[in-house]
Structure 1
Amino acid sequence: MTKSQKAVIYARISDDREGEGLGIERQETDCRALAERLGFEVIAVYADNDIGASDKTNKTREQYNRMLEDARKGRFSFILAYSNSRLTRRVREYLDLIDLYREHKVEIRTVVSGDHNLATADGRAVALTLATWDAAEAERISERIKRKNLQRAMSGEPAIQHRRRFGFEADAINHRPDEAQAIRNAVADIISGASITSIIKKWEAEGILTTDGKASWGWAPVKRVLFGWKTAGVRSLNEEPLYDASGKLVMGNWEPIITLEERSAGLAMMERRSRRGVKEGKWLLSDLLRCGVCGGKLYGQRLDQHERSSYSCNSGKTANHLAINAKRLEDHVSREVFEYLSALTFRGFTEQSLEPKTWAREQELEEISERISELMDAHASKILTSEVVFPQIQKLEDQRNELRRERRDFHANNAQPKTHMEAVWTSALPLATSNSLFEDQQIAIRAEVETVIIAKATRGYASRTDEAFLKRIEIVWKQPHYEVERLTDEEWASLMVNENTPPETKEQLWKLFTLEET
């Protein structure tokens, strides 16, 4: 068979929502039928699935480019496509196809768009005219889709994505219970002082999978899952929140997984951690310890091959200000937090008694948004000129942004961590069980402790006693911190016989509670 009878098929579909490539298969079937009628031999099929061909797409059509390279190598003489628009919707790409004919004599045949003789000026003009109309139609389709998407978004309808959003079912409305609960727990942990990295470690240890079945998580995807606008029930478009005419957020018609206050508190806590430069490590009290001499940070360090360790201040000019045994300190702080949380639970502190405060300037924020909307309406109605309106709007927007930052910080400072809001007792357990995740232990401590100040040790043998050791430690608790009496032996024993507490947990907790200070 001569070279002139060799042909290839190019098939493309812009939007394959089912992900099954059925549109590609139908195009190939019709093109093979065309090849049979024309007496061509199909030697290859190039297919780009779920990729647009207009200027509106940023995706690269790898198979299309490969086909052009093979054409320039003289491997075939005809390109078969279902229609011109399947081949390209870009005028400049049609110019490349014309050059392909001029230089390599590669012709185009279509199933439904007819044939254009690229050897003649009229044929090329017709082809370019059709390409121009295809490009215009692509833009019109894009405009219609944008208007439709905006209309749906402003009414609160969810965006149906190809990949299911973590926490939601495929309908983008109903929650997937186990994933939604994982999100709530993680956001509560972030508010309590945890990091995204610790959440990743926890999820991967617990076997929580991504929506495409992967066992590993990335930092950015986890942050998007936890604090994306959809998670808080806000309708967004192109990852930006939508506001109605009065300046209020457009809420979606689905139940949010977390509240806007929780979202603000979590993001504020992350920003606070970033400003402090908190880093993950294997030191339980990392970033919590301060030197009682200079106020500097204490850092953990290994002392010898026996894995003895200490926290020490390295701020002294000639020597360290002080050091303290790491294990004894960690055991003491863990015990203090655990006993406090246990007593808090036993004494009956409930979610209602610990309900966070409301921000006092919410009405002021709403009034500023309404004022901005009124000025925009006055400008649209030509009552006020741009010179009058926009300087005022700029000032109001600056005020609104400042109030939003103030509200975010307020919610961060007053948000109740999971230890209060859900189950204080459950959050105390990581400090008692030996097989708890390191990150869970850190979260439990950081939810309650602001900092721990370590004083310099006294000289002599007396400094080695337990009493002297404890006098060096001052725990500064996060506020609000409720004064509660610690459990007596009798109360602790009654807590241990709770029928819902597993036997192995009872034993571990009892050992911790009755263990004498070392």
Structure 2
Amino acid sequence: MTHPPRSPQSPNEPSHVAIYARISLDRDDTGLGVARQEEECRAYAEARGWTVGTVYIDNDVSATSGKRRPAFEQLLEDRPAHVVVWNLDRLARVSRDLERVLDAGLTVWAIQAGQLDLSTPAGKAVARTVTAWATYEGDIRSERQRAAYRQRAKQGGRGWVNRPFGYELDGTLREAEATLLRQAFADVLQGATTASIARTWNEAGFVGYFGKPFTPHTVKQTMKNARNAGLKVYEGEVVARGDWVAVVDEPTWRAVVDTLTDPKRGRNANGGNKVTTMLSGIATCAHCGTPLWIIRTDVMKRNDGREFKVRKYGCRKGHCSVAQDWLDSVALLALREALPRHMEAWTGPSEEADASRALELRAELATIETKLGELAAAFAADLMTMDQVTTATEGLRQRREATTKELESLTASASAMGWVADLETFFTLPDALDLGKLRSMFANVFESITVAQMPKGRYAKPDRDRVKFTPLA
């Protein structure tokens, strides 16, 4: 591109200029876009007899995202008197950046707009107007893009760039991984931790994205993803049913998401997420009601002189303390005795009846989701008014909520039956049961576990009667 020289040269034109070039997106990382800008800016300056000094380049950096632009920051720090740009929006697309340019007192020469002397009121007004329109155009483009993305999301297409865990890229299940996922959903509802699930997946030889081992965090993110329930999400909202097979039903997925995002889940005395004891935060002091934690470890001596350590649960206000091993064993025996009675209350008439009812409820939920989609389509086609759609939608949502609650209740029943088997396994193989699952059993069987101060003295023994287990109604 050739720029004819001005003749004669204006007295306020510079002899030396800097160049600033920027492009928002460089997919191939070739720098060709900024190179073209620099080339045109050089031609513009040379045609006027100006000497080009420093060239500032920000490649593949947006001017609206808030991300730091290193070359732009350096330009403001150096404060060259004159700067040539391809267009003003290469330098500043939002008002906050323009105001910083104005404060620097630069004179900007834009190939597409001519001189903008930002030291004058007129130049500042023109620059602010140009930037305001650039911001407006960017906002409109973003709105169009969001509308297009949302429309595509509502169509339920996959749009997967990488193969998700449990799936092939065509939306069919990779059965070995899908089986692990289904088991993980069931385990979480029974109290398992994401750490134990990550361990299981890694030991089975499975890997996450980029071939890396699973961590508790990546397991949690994998299970929270709505695609497991066959749902399409846009900006945190479920907008459509996907065109792929669900690993689990929607109520199960939602129940697990609620469990994984519960702020009280697996918290220990220090506020961390690692569960290290069976009753920390669950058992409470009978005197003041505060939770018991591991408050100390005593070093004791056997008759033969050998030392051993005794960890103790205790109230931090000093009202009670008791050996961890002793209280854990008492609590396990109480749980073993109480759990079958609670299972009878949870499971209802029979497993077969529950399974049949669960199928009916899942079919009902599928019908409700279909009808909600039909209502949205009817409104889009101007076949229904907004008031009609709102009324019909509210009724369907109430049905969905009631159906979901009943299905979750049946899921709890199935979990309870699994707990009984797990607990029996624990007594024969103590290391076989996840600690988080045990804690969940206690929380679902007992309303409270309170511990009073134990007898004191060198030869005093813990008193079972000072531990009270109050079952849930």
Q: TM-score range by the shorter chain?
A: 0.5 to 0.7
Structure 1 spans left out of the alignment, 5+ residues: 243-249, 342-350, 480-518
The match for 2:158 is: 158
Residues 289 and 156 (structure 1 numbering): CA distance in 2 closer, same or farther, change over 3 Å?
A: same
Residues 69 and 421 (structure 1 numbering): CA distance in 2 closer, same or farther, change over 3 Å?
A: farther
What aligned pairs does 1:114-263 form with structure 2 within 5 A after superposition? 114=112, 116-118=114-116, 137-159=137-159, 167=165, 173=171, 184=182, 186-194=184-192, 198-199=193-194, 203=198, 211=209, 224-242=221-239, 250-263=240-253
1:27 to 33, 46, 66: 33
The match for 1:508 is: none
The Cα shift of 1:149 comes to 1.7
Corresponding letter in the other structure for 1:262: T
Q: Residue 59 in 1 paired to residue 66 in 2?
A: yes
Q: Is the 8 A contact 1:191 1:412 kept in 2?
A: no
Corresponding letter in the other structure for 1:149: Y
d(CA) in 2 for partners of 1:92 and 1:455? 61
Q: Is the 8 A contact 2:23 2:34 kept in 1?
A: no
**RMSD (Å) for aligned C-alpha atoms:** 6.3
Corresponding letter in the other structure for 2:57: Y
The match for 1:107 is: 109
Corresponding letter in the other structure for 2:277: W
- Cα deviation digits, residues 32-61 of structure 1 (max 9, x gap): 43355444435243315252x4xxx54345
The Cα shift of 1:156 comes to 0.4
Corresponding letter in the other structure for 2:191: G
The match for 2:254 is: 264
2:276 to 273, 278, 282: 282
The Cα shift of 1:107 comes to 2.2
What aligned pairs does 1:55-94 form with structure 2 within 5 A after superposition? 57-63=64-70, 65-67=72-74, 69-70=76-77, 73-75=78-80, 77-81=82-86, 86-90=90-94
Q: Is the 8 A contact 1:372 1:393 kept in 2?
A: no
Corresponding letter in the other structure for 1:190: V
Task: Give secondary structure in 2 for the equivalent of 1:304.
Answer: strand
- Cα deviation digits, residues 284-340 of structure 1 (max 9, x gap): 23355579999997655546234324557899xx965xx765314535766998999
The Cα shift of 1:174 comes to 6.8
Q: Residue 415 in 1 paired to residue 411 in 2?
A: yes
The match for 1:509 is: none
TM-score by length of 1: 0.56
Q: Residue 7 in 1 paired to residue 18 in 2?
A: yes
Deviates more, 1:301-310 or 1:268-277: 268-277
d(CA) in 2 for partners of 1:61 and 1:458? 62
Task: Give secondary structure in 2 for the equivalent of 1:283.
Answer: coil
User: Where is the strand percentage greater, Structure 1 or Structure 2?
Assistant: 2
Corresponding letter in the other structure for 2:299: Q
Task: Give secondary structure in 2 for the equivalent of 1:156.
Answer: coil
Residues 310 and 144 (structure 1 numbering): CA distance in 2 closer, same or farther, change over 3 Å?
A: closer
Q: Is the 8 A contact 1:35 1:41 kept in 2?
A: no
Q: Is the 8 A contact 2:194 2:220 kept in 1?
A: no
TM-score by length of 2: 0.60
Q: Is the 8 A contact 1:117 1:124 kept in 2?
A: no
- Cα deviation digits, residues 405-450 of structure 1 (max 9, x gap): 544544443326789789x78995798365x7xx923325635872
Task: Give secondary structure in 1 for the equivalent of 2:116.
Answer: coil
d(CA) in 1 for partners of 2:244 and 2:372? 29
Q: Is the 8 A contact 2:22 2:59 kept in 1?
A: yes
The match for 1:442 is: 436
The match for 1:487 is: none
Q: Is the 8 A contact 1:12 1:49 kept in 2?
A: yes
Task: Give secondary structure in 1 for the equivalent of 2:114.
Answer: coil
The Cα shift of 1:26 comes to 0.6
| Percent identity of paired positions between Structure 1 and Structure 2 | 16
d(CA) in 2 for partners of 1:469 and 1:107? 87
The match for 1:43 is: 54
Corresponding letter in the other structure for 2:21: Y
Q: Residue 327 in 1 paired to residue 332 in 2?
A: no
Corresponding letter in the other structure for 1:7: A
Corresponding letter in the other structure for 2:435: Q
d(CA) in 2 for partners of 1:29 and 1:427? 71
Q: Is the 8 A contact 2:201 2:214 kept in 1?
A: no
Name the count of aligned residue pairs: 422
Corresponding letter in the other structure for 2:194: I
d(CA) in 1 for partners of 2:207 and 2:53? 43
Q: Is the 8 A contact 2:330 2:464 kept in 1?
A: no
Q: Is the 8 A contact 1:431 1:441 kept in 2?
A: no
Task: Give secondary structure in 1 for the equivalent of 2:110.
Answer: strand
Task: Give secondary structure in 2 for the equivalent of 1:285.
Answer: coil
Q: Is the 8 A contact 1:48 1:62 kept in 2?
A: no
